[in-house]
A = this chain, B = another copy of it.
Amino acid sequence: MPRGDGDPECIVLKLSNGYNIGVEYKGQKIGLVKKGGKVATVTANKASHDSKKKTISILAVGGTIASKVDYRTGGVVAAYSADELIAAVPELAEIANIRGRLIMQVLSEEMRFEHYAKIASEVAKEIEAGADGVIILHGTDTMGYSSAALSFMLQNLPVGVLLVGAQRSSDRGSSDAAMNLVCAARFLVGSDFAGVGVCMHGSLEDDFCLVHSGTKVRKMHTSRRDAFRSVNVKPIAKIGYENGKIEMLGESYAKKNKEKTKTKLKLANKFEDKVALVKIFPGMHAKQLGYFAENGYKGLVIEGTGLGQMPVNDDKIASENSRIFEVVRRLVADGCVVVMASQCIYGRVNMNVYSTARELEKIGVIGAGDMHPELAYVKLKWLLGNYSGGEAKKKMNENLVGELEPRTEVEKDFE
């Protein structure tokens, strides 16, 4: 590979399994084995439109699934266009009429709510133009935040919208990109799902994918192909890769119906800027929260401990603790909507069990129920973008798009 920023004493070789290896060349001889061929250029698969088939729009926004290795550095950069990716997965054309375009090139760690609003608008355009389903090629890092944001923004969805990513880049033999895409397309064409979901590997093998709820999904592993998990609910569906079988697992999900296709899709893509997500930890100083009080924050999601707690009491050793409570009390008094979620991630917040949390509830902090912290953050940001503080507070405890289950099935949701 061309020399990048690495060790100047080494040459970097790309192995057939996709990994790079650095070899010190000092004192070594380099000989020509054989001349390589010209690198084949992938050309777009111009399948003719089949009116018997449904139409799926694929929108690429960035991430590994739309990436290839940068041979300058050996790292992975966003590069593939949607057309190239479609051409690389010919099975797609057998499932549906495919149309695709690159709407932005943003790595998922760089995604912001302005991007989410743009993605939602583009999805709406595709649906208005007749798409029977939409696939969004997205980086996996913040995919859970994006899918939650889209779940709230895209109201009265008449068709399914699936975010699809890859944990291995598309030019590696072990890439999960093609299978995730194929399963997503099959699910959009073969199910009655009409909501926002995430379709990714369900196991370490290439045997099935899972479709997770757009709100309840979370990336739970840095690198595994089955990194995405449904938190506190069952996945919506399981899709076999070989046999194409769709098995619906979740009981409650947004379904297609005649009413919806008649109703015009509504787009509510505003978010309040002054909302933050803050993690509580032992030894935290109250002043760290001062920024939010001083800058008129409208919403704050606290990632507390256990059932929804944070330091409240004042004792001789830990006199600063009382002040964290004081800052939160002042924030609430100033009209900031403060929501308590749990860093446990699984399970639900219950602020009625322990005295500490009861104190917090008394000053106006509201529990996030079974919404994990990142979901609670996106919901609060969206609510405050579209409703008054009072209404937002009320709706925080209502189930709007499947994000808040009235009861957690303890036995089934956590392995």
Q: Which of A's residues lie within 8 Å of B, judged by CB?
A: 5, 70, 73, 75-77, 106-116, 118, 139-142, 145-146, 204, 219-224, 227, 271, 273, 275-279, 281-285, 287-288, 290-292, 295, 303-313, 315, 317-318, 321, 342-350, 352-356, 358, 362, 374, 377, 381, 410-411, 414-415
State A221–B307 Cα separation when bound (angstroms): 9
9 A-B residue pairs with Cβ-Cβ distance under 8 Å, sorted by A, are A5-B358, A73-B355, A76-B355, A107-B309, A141-B305, A141-B307, A145-B281, A222-B307, A276-B284
Nearest CB in chain B to that of A320: its residue: B112
Please state if B70 and A355 are interface contacts (CB–CB under 8 Å).
yes
Residues of B within 8 A of A291 (CB): 287-288, 290-291
Which of B141, B318, B348 has a CB less than 8 Å from the CB of A110? B318
Alpha-carbon separation in the docked complex, A287 to B112 (Å) = 16
Give the complex CA separation of A65 and B377 in angstroms. 32
CB nearest neighbor in B for A105: B315
In the complex the two chains form, is B311's CB within 8 Å of A345's CB?
no
CA distance A114 to B316 in the complex (A): 11
What distance in Å separates the Cβ of A219 from its nearest Cβ neighbour in chain B?
5
In contact, B358 and A306 (Cβ under 8 angstroms) = no
**B-chain residues with CB within 8 Å of residue A346 when the two chains form the complex:** 220-222, 224, 227
Inter-chain CA distance A204–B318, complex, in Å, is 35
Q: Which residues of B are found within 8 Å of A353, using beta-carbon distances?
A: 75-76
Partner of A345, one of B142, B318, B345: B345
Kindly list chain B residues whose C-beta atoms are within 8 Å of the C-beta of A358: 5, 73, 75
Point out the residues of chain B lying under 8 angstroms from A70, CB to CB: 355
